[in-house]
């Protein structure tokens, strides 16, 4: 029976209370259930995720222990399975609404009465179902008034704003109605207590013939906002409906008829009333952000909305056509920060794939003006971050994006940019995965199966880089399901299978199959060569590497410079010393420029190639202090022929063990962190 199940898993958690490593996987194993079935069953019966349920059990037990004067907060935090006292205090405050240090100062009448008068608590595990039900009801009503309210809010803080319907007779007013929808969405996104689905995810439902429960399920939200509007002369008519997904019933409905000059007040009022209806906490700073007027000039705002409508079509033509409209907005209001920011966005995306950049100055000057007139705008900060990305100063982009996320915690564009930076330019696998998971919770659906396929590919890659093999395999299959022709899926999938099976022949065969279908794939060509290299089959490796090097040189392509040392060794084995020296020098130049966390590992390989084993080991020691590096390095380091000479060094085994232990320790901590945040 269901009550037996919840009591049973609560008992198991209490039995393992002091073990901070005890989590969802361990609970599933003891229950002899798959992780997915356990998650589903806990969610069904408690409306909590499994990690939230475990944390709730720990926190409830800590409340009991805090009433014992012989124990301090630090001791209790460890006894209830929190490895960090500061993290325990944070979770306790979020759950009960005050810090654990205040427990002794408060007169919790309801809780004291419940503890003193309940005759069932001591014998909870031996009661019949009927008695258990009474205990649960008593606990809900008396013991946990505060926690129940907070849990309810937590469950009801996911929302999507569906595209508004244009009820104007004039279809040209669509941009204005879409602007109202965009404003409602943007204002809600500024509330950190909410999870707000992105505009790109809801756009697919503009003309969809689907019911509210189905849409809510696809978007994984508890609430949906529907709206319709029209503009008649100087009058704005707006109908808003907030719908509870589980019951498919409106819980707040409002009809507005306002003068056009009151449009900003209207937009702000809608956001605040929706937040209030779902009991979301809005901080004073967030309220200031919501109430901030983008401009006081209505004509400027009208031009801005027209530009935004065209900009959101996304193709290059749309970006080009949007710029003059944003510029017209600025002619009306020279301090219109949002217009400046969107001009910077437009120029950035027009220029993004151009080898010779044309609009660097336009991006920078408009971003600076946006910041000048509104330094606390997420859009202004994003504009400046894009400028730094444009000039390849990636590290300077990060603080601007992180600050933007403070002002708009639901910005999927910021989250995805950070994920992109940590994946490609500022290597940090933990942050890459964290932001990729946050991104998919905000950008959860799209009409475009190709984009969806790449989203899951991206997430799969983030998982495997952190050593999450099972999850990586799940998402690579989802990617394949959305687009069987995805260019990169076979590449990533082959190496996920290697991580799972350690079968280099299987991996090689998979990649050769891809290469036979498309012989122009330089990425696959060098990977097949590298697998032969790992097997010390230098003759076959040379055949592939030679094609790769010749094609790269012929077309002037500067790719995979980090692989040149392996190619150099293969050429050296083939007696091509001059070519080998040229390739090795190329690798040395790469090492000199490298500013990433991998520099010491790269230098270790350089010294190993030169036969300077002591220096190579010293560099590996330096690398052993690095965190959040890619799983691939751990997988292939020990089978790399360049590393083989180091294995006889007396310190080799110790330093490799330190590198390996560090990786798996980071993996464990990352897993706990992601579970605590409800991301996995």
pLDDT band at 104 (very low <50, low <70, confident <90, very high): low
User: What is the structure's pLDDT at 115?
Assistant: 32
Both tokens assigned to 165? 């319907």
Mean pLDDT on 112-134: 33
Asked whether the predicted pLDDT for residue 160 surpasses 70, the reply is yes
Percentage of residues of the chain with pLDDT beyond 70 = 90
Round to whole Å and give the CA distance between 590 and 35.
44
Give the residue ranges of DSSP H helices in 486-598: 489-501, 504-517, 522-534, 538-554, 564-573, 577-593
User: What is the structure's pLDDT at 641?
Assistant: 97
DSSP 163: P
Mean pLDDT on 576-590: 95
Mean per-residue pLDDT of the chain: 86
The candidate with the shortest Cα–Cα distance to 527, out of 487, 571, 558, 567, is 567
Asked whether the predicted pLDDT for residue 648 surpasses 90, the reply is yes
DSSP 162: P
Round to whole Å and give the CA distance between 507 and 489.
13
What are the distances in angstroms from CA 496 to CA 273, 473, 530, 635? 47, 7, 16, 11
User: What is the structure's pLDDT at 105?
Assistant: 56
pLDDT band at 134 (very low <50, low <70, confident <90, very high): very low
Round to whole Å and give the CA distance between 518 and 452.
24
Asked whether the predicted pLDDT for residue 387 surpasses 90, the reply is yes
User: pLDDT, tens digit, for every residue of 186-199?
Assistant: 999 999 999 999 98
Asked whether the predicted pLDDT for residue 207 surpasses 60, the reply is yes
Residues in contact with 661: Cβ distance below 8 Å, sequence separation at least 6, in sequence order: none
User: pLDDT, tens digit, for every residue of 445-501?
Assistant: 776 788 888 889 999 999 999 999 999 999 999 999 989 888 889 989 999 999 999
Asked whether the predicted pLDDT for residue 428 surpasses 90, the reply is yes
Asked whether the predicted pLDDT for residue 124 surpasses 80, the reply is no
The candidate with the shortest Cα–Cα distance to 383, out of 326, 440, 424, 430, is 326
What are the distances in angstroms from CA 28 to CA 36, 39, 41? 9, 9, 11
Round to whole Å and give the CA distance between 349 and 13.
51
Residues in contact with 489: Cβ distance below 8 Å, sequence separation at least 6, in sequence order: 453, 457, 476, 479, 480, 483
Round to whole Å and give the CA distance between 27 and 597.
36
User: What is the structure's pLDDT at 119?
Assistant: 35
335 near 373, Cβ under 8 Å? yes
User: What is the structure's pLDDT at 370?
Assistant: 97
Mean pLDDT on 556-567: 91
DSSP 170: S
Asked whether the predicted pLDDT for residue 1 surpasses 70, the reply is no
| DSSP-based three-state secondary structure for 594 | coil
Residues in contact with 378: Cβ distance below 8 Å, sequence separation at least 6, in sequence order: 190, 404, 405, 407, 408, 411, 414
User: What is the structure's pLDDT at 136?
Assistant: 27
Asked whether the predicted pLDDT for residue 592 surpasses 70, the reply is yes
Least confident of 105-109, 114-118, 389-393: 114-118
Instruction: Give the chain's domains with CATH numbers.
Output: 2-155 (1.10.10.60), 158-290 (3.40.50.10070), 293-409 (1.25.40.10), 537-673 (no CATH)
| DSSP-based three-state secondary structure for 53 | helix
432 near 419, Cβ under 8 Å? yes
User: pLDDT, tens digit, for every residue of 225-250?
Assistant: 999 988 888 888 999 999 999 889 99
Asked whether the predicted pLDDT for residue 635 surpasses 60, the reply is yes
| DSSP-based three-state secondary structure for 632 | helix
pLDDT band at 51 (very low <50, low <70, confident <90, very high): confident
Least confident of 161-170, 514-523, 569-578, 631-640: 161-170
User: What is the structure's pLDDT at 69?
Assistant: 58
- Which of the listed ranges 59-68, 77-86, 586-595 does the model predict with the highest average pLDDT? 586-595
Asked whether the predicted pLDDT for residue 116 surpasses 50, the reply is no
Number of residues written out for the chain? 680
Burial of 86 (0-12, 13-18, 19+ CB in 10 A): exposed
Asked whether the predicted pLDDT for residue 262 surpasses 60, the reply is yes
Asked whether the predicted pLDDT for residue 70 surpasses 70, the reply is no
User: pLDDT, tens digit, for every residue of 499-546?
Assistant: 999 999 999 999 999 999 888 899 999 999 999 999 999 999 999 999
Round to whole Å and give the CA distance between 162 and 240.
11
DSSP letters, 145-187, are HHHHHHHHHHHT-EEEEPPPEE--SSGGGHHHHHHHHHHHHHH
Asked whether the predicted pLDDT for residue 41 surpasses 50, the reply is yes
Round to whole Å and give the CA distance between 26 and 73.
26
Asked whether the predicted pLDDT for residue 569 surpasses 80, the reply is yes
Asked whether the predicted pLDDT for residue 2 surpasses 60, the reply is no
Place of tokens 């590198």: 659
Give the residue ranges of DSSP H helices in 244-335: 263-277, 284-291, 298-311, 316-332
603 near 619, Cβ under 8 Å? yes
DSSP 164: P
User: What is the structure's pLDDT at 587?
Assistant: 96
pLDDT band at 55 (very low <50, low <70, confident <90, very high): confident
Round to whole Å and give the CA distance between 545 and 542.
5
**CA pseudo-torsion sign 104, 105, 106, 108:** positive
Residue, of 273 and 127, whose pLDDT is higher = 273
Round to whole Å and give the CA distance between 323 and 325.
5
User: What is the structure's pLDDT at 4?
Assistant: 66
Q: Which runs of E-coded beta strand occur in 4-119?
A: none
Residues in contact with 178: Cβ distance below 8 Å, sequence separation at least 6, in sequence order: 163, 164, 166, 305, 308, 309, 312
| DSSP-based three-state secondary structure for 232 | strand
Asked whether the predicted pLDDT for residue 273 surpasses 90, the reply is yes
Neighbouring CB atoms inside 10 A of 517's CB total 10
Residue 590 Cα to chain centre, angstroms: 30
Give the residue ranges of DSSP H helices in 374-448: 378-390, 394-407, 412-424, 429-442
DSSP 252: E
User: What is the structure's pLDDT at 121?
Assistant: 35
pTM over 0.85: no
User: What is the structure's pLDDT at 118?
Assistant: 37
Asked whether the predicted pLDDT for residue 609 surpasses 60, the reply is yes
No. of H helices and E strands in the chain? 34, 6
């Amino acid at each position: 029976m269901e009550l037996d199940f919840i009591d049973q898993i609560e008992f198991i958690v209490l039995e393992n209370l002091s073990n901070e490593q005890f989590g969802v996987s361990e609970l599933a194993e003891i229950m002899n259930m798959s992780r997915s079935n356990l998650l589903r069953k806990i969610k069904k019966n408690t409306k909590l995720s499994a990690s939230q349920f475990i944390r709730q059990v720990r926190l409830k037990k800590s409340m009991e222990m805090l009433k014992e004067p012989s124990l301090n907060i630090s001791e209790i935090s460890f006894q209830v399975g929190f490895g960090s006292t500061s993290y325990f205090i944070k979770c306790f405050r979020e759950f009960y609404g005050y810090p654990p240090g205040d427990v002794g100062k408060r007169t919790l009448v309801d809780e004291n009465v419940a503890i003193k008068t309940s005759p069932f608590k001591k014998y909870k595990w031996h009661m019949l179902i009927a008695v258990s039900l009474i205990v649960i009801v008593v606990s809900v009503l008396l013991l946990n008034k505060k926690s129940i309210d907070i849990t309810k809010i937590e469950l009801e803080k996911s929302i999507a704003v569906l595209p508004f319907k244009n009820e104007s007779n004039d279809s040209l007013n669509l941009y204005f109605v879409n602007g109202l929808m965009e404003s409602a969405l943007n204002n809600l996104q500024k509330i950190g207590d909410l999870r707000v689905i992105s505009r790109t995810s809801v756009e697919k439902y503009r003309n969809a013939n689907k019911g509210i429960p189905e849409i809510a399920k696809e978007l994984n939200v508890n609430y949906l906002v529907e709206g319709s509007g029209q503009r008649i002369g100087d009058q704005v008519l707006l109908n808003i409906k907030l719908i509870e997904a589980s019951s498919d019933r409106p819980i707040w409905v409002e009809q507005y008829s306002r003068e056009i000059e009151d449009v900003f007040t209207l937009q702000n009022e809608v956001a605040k009333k929706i937040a209030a209806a779902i009991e979301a906490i809005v901080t004073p700073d967030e309220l200031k952000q919501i109430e901030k007027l983008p401009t006081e000039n209505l004509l400027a705002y009208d031009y801005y909305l027209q530009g935004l409508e065209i900009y959101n079509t996304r193709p290059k033509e749309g970006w080009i056509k949007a710029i003059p409209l944003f510029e017209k907005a600025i002619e009306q209001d020279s301090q219109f920060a949002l217009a400046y920011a969107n001009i910077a966005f437009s120029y950035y995306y027009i220029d993004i794939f151009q080898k010779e950049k044309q609009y660097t100055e336009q991006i920078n000057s408009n971003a600076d003006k946006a910041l000048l007139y509104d330094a606390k705008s997420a859009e202004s900060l994003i504009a400046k971050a894009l400028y730094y990305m444009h000039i390849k100063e990636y590290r300077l982009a990060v603080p601007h994006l992180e600050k933007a996320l403070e002002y708009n915690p639901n910005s999927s564009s910021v989250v995805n940019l950070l994920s992109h930076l940590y994946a490609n330019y500022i290597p940090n696998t933990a942050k890459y995965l964290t932001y990729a998971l946050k991104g998919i919770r905000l950008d959860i659906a799209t009409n475009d199966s190709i984009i969806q396929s790449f989203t899951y590919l991206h997430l799969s890659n983030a998982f495997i880089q952190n050593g999450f093999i099972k999850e990586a395999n799940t998402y690579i299959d989802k990617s394949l399901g959305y687009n069987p022709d995805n260019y990169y899926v076979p590449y990533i999938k082959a190496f996920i299978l290697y991580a799972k099976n350690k079968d280099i022949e299987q991996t090689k065969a998979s990649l050769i199959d891809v290469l036979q279908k498309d012989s122009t794939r330089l990425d696959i060509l060098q990977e097949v060569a590298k697998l032969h290299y790992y097997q010390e089959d230098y003759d076959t490796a040379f055949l592939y590497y030679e094609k790769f090097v010749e094609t790269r040189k012929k077309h002037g392509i500067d790719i995979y410079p980090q692989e040149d040392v392996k190619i150099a060794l293969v050429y050296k084995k083939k007696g091509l010393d001059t070519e080998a020296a040229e390739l090795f020098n190329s690798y040395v130049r790469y090492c000199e420029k490298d500013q990433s966390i991998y520099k010491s590992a790269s230098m270790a390989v350089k010294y190993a190639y030169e036969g300077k084993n002591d220096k190579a080991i010293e560099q590996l020691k330096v690398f052993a202090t690095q965190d959040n590096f890619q799983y691939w390095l751990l997988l292939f380091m020990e089978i790399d022929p360049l590393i083989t000479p180091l294995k006889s060094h007396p310190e080799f085994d110790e330093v490799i063990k330190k590198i390996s232990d560090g990786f798996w320790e980071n993996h464990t901590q990352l897993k706990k962190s992601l579970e605590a945040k409800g991301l996995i």
